[in-house]
């Protein structure tokens, strides 16, 4: 467990600003109601409409010129997803999948979800609708097989492939449930633990489009991709490219073993998109433990604390981690630690999900401070 400390030294900390992100995503868009009536369901009390994204041209209610031909087959991480007809009852086996399906306006087609955050910590853009979904786990562990089977899904969806065989059962065990499975490619590991794709963010856009095919909502999927791309471009466009290019960023979860995000992580793709450099981007895996002396040798300008699931108070947890870094003989000499150039995010803010815009917001704020 992280230890609390009494004193907080002056430093530059960029923490999540959820209201700003909601405004960013919702201000310039139109709702998806013109594309489908999935968000006009009567299950549960009235909630806010499906999150707004730029509607595709010529989209009309009940029609999609790119309608999926059945049966449907798409490649995923480690296999192929096959369904006989468009998906009507899905189970989201991780939080990123749940957020994306809700973001796509598919609440009425979600039979159950697996979540790891309390209601007050969830992403505001989707938390209103997720409040009325059936949660299949205890918020701490994966859902048991009998709970999944009980809701009779026709598709299991996993956004973060690294969870398969870790927080979730192995792929073979999930397939043994007898329900088609789709595992996202954005964080797809190879046999040696390295990533199969060169750009996790671009791969996630492909995952969104594939789910659009499986659910027969291709226009909405394309609109979501376009809106996330536009939001990220708008955010990163506020940075001074030359100043940011001179910075290196150490992205870590703050654990005692200094687990660090490497070149196969979504974090690395976000750093590249922002025009800066991952101090440990040469690590082929999504994440690996490093030593304090290795961090000191690379002397990063910014530390990005990506705090794990279960962290209820990001600011307090960051204080504890930074106090530990400051007390370490090697880490205390690192530029980012000495100057207090710190970005703080939840791991859910940098997962394969539309919520990734929030992680980019936090990163951009931190880079702007460090480069000024």
pLDDT of amino acid 64: 55
The kind and range of the H/E element at 356 are: helix 356-371
Q: Which fold has domain 12-20+238-371?
A: Rossmann fold (3.40.50)
Average pLDDT over residues 351-367: 96
pLDDT class for 169, splitting at 50, 70, 90?
confident
Rounded to 5°, angle at Cα 109 from 108 and 113? 100
3-state secondary structure of 38: coil
Question: What percentage of the chain reaches a pLDDT higher than 90?
Answer: 65
Mean pLDDT, the chain, integer: 83
pLDDT of amino acid 62: 37
Q: Under a CB-based contact definition with an 8 Å cutoff, are residues 67 and 217 in contact?
A: no
Average pLDDT over residues 228-242: 98
> For residue 6, which phi and psi values (nearest 5 degrees)?
-85, -35
Q: Which fold has domain 31-41+49-55+66-233?
A: Rossmann fold (3.40.50)
The beta strands (E) that lie in the chain are given as 12-14, 72-76, 79-83, 90-92, 110-113, 155-158, 181-183, 248-252, 259-261, 277-278, 287-289, 302-307, 341-346
The least confident of 34-43, 163-172, 180-189, 275-284 is 34-43
Packing angle, helices 200-215 and 218-236, rounded to 10: 160
> For residue 368, which phi and psi values (nearest 5 degrees)?
-60, -40
Average pLDDT over residues 276-287: 90
pLDDT in tens, 178-233: 999 999 999 888 766 566 667 899 999 999 999 999 999 999 999 999 999 999 99
Encoded tokens for 57: 């041209």
Rounded CA gap, 186 and 188, in Å?
6
Rounded CA gap, 78 and 93, in Å?
16
Q: Is 234 exposed, middle or buried (0-12, 13-18, 19+ CB in 10 A)?
A: middle
3-state secondary structure of 79: strand
3-state secondary structure of 104: coil
- Pairing mode of beta strands 302-307, 341-346: parallel
In the chain, residues under CATH classification 3.40.50.1980 are: 12-20+238-371, 31-41+49-55+66-233
Encoded tokens for 217: 């909502």
Model-level pTM greater than 0.85? no
DSSP letter, residue 74: E
Kindly give, in sequence order, each residue whose CB lies less than 8 Å from that of residue 214, ignoring residues fewer than 6 positions away: 68, 72, 74, 81, 83, 86, 87, 155, 182
* Half-sphere exposure at residue 268, Cβ-oriented, CA atoms within 13 angstroms: 23
């Amino acid at each position: 467990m992280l230890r609390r400390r009494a004193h907080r030294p002056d430093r530059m900390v960029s923490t999540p600003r959820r209201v700003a992100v909601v405004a960013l995503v919702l201000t310039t868009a139109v709702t998806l109601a013109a594309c489908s009536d999935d968000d006009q369901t009567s299950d549960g009390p009235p909630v806010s409409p499906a999150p707004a994204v730029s509607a595709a041209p010529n989209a009309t209610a009940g029609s999609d010129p790119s309608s999926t031909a059945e049966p449907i087959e798409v490649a995923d991480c480690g296999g192929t997803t096959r369904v006989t007809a468009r998906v009507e009852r899905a189970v989201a086996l991780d939080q990123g999948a749940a957020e994306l399906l809700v973001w796509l306006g598919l609440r009425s087609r979600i039979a159950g979800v697996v979540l790891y955050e309390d209601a007050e910590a969830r992403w505001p853009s989707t938390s209103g609708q997720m409040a009325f979904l059936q949660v299949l786990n205890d918020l701490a562990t994966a859902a048991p097989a009998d709970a999944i089977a009980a809701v009779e899904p026709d598709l299991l969806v996993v956004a973060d492939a690294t969870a398969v065989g870790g927080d979730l059962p192995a792929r073979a065990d999930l397939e043994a449930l007898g329900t088609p499975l789709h595992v996202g490619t954005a964080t797809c590991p190879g046999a040696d633990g390295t990533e199969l794709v060169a750009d996790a963010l671009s791969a996630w856009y492909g995952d969104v489009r594939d789910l659009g095919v499986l659910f027969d909502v291709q226009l909405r999927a394309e609109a979501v991709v376009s809106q996330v791309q536009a939001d990220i471009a708008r955010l990163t466009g506020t940075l001074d490219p030359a100043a940011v290019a001179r910075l290196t960023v150490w992205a870590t979860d703050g654990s005692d073993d200094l687990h660090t995000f490497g070149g196969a992580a979504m974090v690395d793709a976000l750093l590249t998109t922002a025009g800066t450099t991952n101090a440990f981007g040469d690590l082929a895996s999504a994440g690996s433990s490093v030593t304090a002396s290795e961090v000191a040798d690379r002397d990063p300008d910014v530390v990005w604390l990506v705090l794990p699931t279960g962290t209820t108070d990001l600011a307090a947890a960051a204080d504890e981690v930074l106090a530990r870094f400051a007390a370490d003989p090697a880490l205390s000499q690192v530029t980012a630690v000495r100057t207090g150039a710190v970005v703080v995010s939840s791991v859910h803010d940098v997962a394969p999900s539309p919520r990734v815009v929030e992680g980019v917001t936090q990163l951009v704020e931190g880079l702007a401070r460090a480069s000024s």
